[in-house]
């Protein structure tokens, strides 16, 4: 948009966009769960033994928090790449 033609800027913008997308998905999870929808990666949920139903019912057990932590960690990794 600004006319910047730099591969490093493009790379940083890509990682920022990925981090923002992950965070937006996490922040919207309670809203989506009230509508019986879960848009979180099922591979991470299965890794921790969490089902979509656990999110829809609003469970706050450690394994549910671990799923959120793992997903948020991915956003953090993208921000570290930017730095």
- pLDDT digits over 23-82, tens only? 999 999 999 999 999 999 999 999 999 999 999 999 999 999 999 999 999 999 999 998
Q: Give the dihedral of Cα atoms 80, 12, 31, 54; nearest 10 deg.
A: -40
Q: Up-side HSE of residue 8: CA atoms within 13 Å toward CB?
A: 2
- Three-class SS state of 7: helix
**pTM for the whole thing?**
0.84
């Amino acid at each position: 948009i600004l006319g910047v033609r730099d591969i490093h800027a493009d790379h940083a913008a890509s990682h920022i966009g990925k981090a923002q997308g992950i965070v937006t998905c996490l922040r919207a999870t309670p809203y989506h769960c009230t509508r019986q929808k879960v848009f979180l990666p099922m591979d991470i949920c299965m890794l921790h033994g969490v089902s979509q139903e656990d999110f829809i019912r609003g469970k706050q057990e450690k394994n549910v928090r671990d799923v959120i932590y793992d997903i948020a960690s991915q956003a953090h990794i993208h921000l570290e790449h930017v730095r």
